[in-house]
């Protein structure tokens, strides 16, 4: 049987459920927190919150790849850091660029990994 995550908040041991969902920015993370509770650690929720917040902020510049195609658990399984997610998005954008149909002055070229970070 696994241990439940405990976190130090103002000198007291408090579980993620007691800290509340207001600590997260992203609505999708809040929904999963309500649904799954302590199934995931606070660190996992915080990582997903960072990744999804970044992806929503950069939705038109590649963030849509993760927002639209990944379930909550898949985000946690696939990415160990925010930088992993950024690298993945950059690779996907470069793949899209390689498959583009347009000319060399195509606006899609501005979505390359070098230009979106």
- Per the structure, the complete domain to which residue 66 belongs is given by 7-116
Q: Is residue 41 part of a domain?
A: yes
Q: Is residue 61 part of a domain?
A: yes
Give the per-residue pLDDT at 49.
Answer: 85
**pLDDT tens track for 77-95:** 999 999 999 999 999 888 8
**pLDDT tens track for 23-78:** 667 777 778 777 777 788 878 888 988 998 899 888 888 899 999 999 888 999 99
Q: Is residue 1 part of a domain?
A: no
> Whole-prediction pTM value?
0.67
3-state helix, strand, coil in the chain (%, to 5): 65, 5, 30
8 A C-beta contact, residue 17 and residue 38: yes
Q: Is residue 56 part of a domain?
A: yes
Buried b (16+ CB within 10 A) or exposed e, 23-45: ebebebbbebbeeeeeebbbebb
Q: Is residue 40 part of a domain?
A: yes
Q: Is residue 77 part of a domain?
A: yes
* Euclidean distance between CA atoms 82 and 2, whole angstroms: 26
How many domains, the chain?
A: 1
52: closest CA among 36, 32, 73, 29? 29
């Amino acid at each position: 049987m696994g241990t439940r995550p405990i976190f130090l908040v103002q000198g007291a041991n408090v579980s993620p459920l007691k800290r509340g969902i207001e600590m997260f920015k992203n609505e999708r993370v809040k929904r999963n927190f309500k649904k799954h509770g302590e199934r995931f650690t606070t660190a996992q929720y915080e990582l997903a919150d960072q990744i999804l917040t970044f992806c929503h902020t950069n939705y038109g510049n590649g963030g849509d790849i993760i927002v639209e195609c990944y379930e909550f658990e898949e985000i946690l399984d696939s990415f160990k850091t925010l930088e992993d997610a950024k690298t993945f998005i950059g690779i996907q954008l470069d793949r899209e660029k390689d498959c583009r149909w347009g000319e060399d002055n195509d606006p899609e070229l501005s979505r390359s990994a070098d230009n979106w970070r």
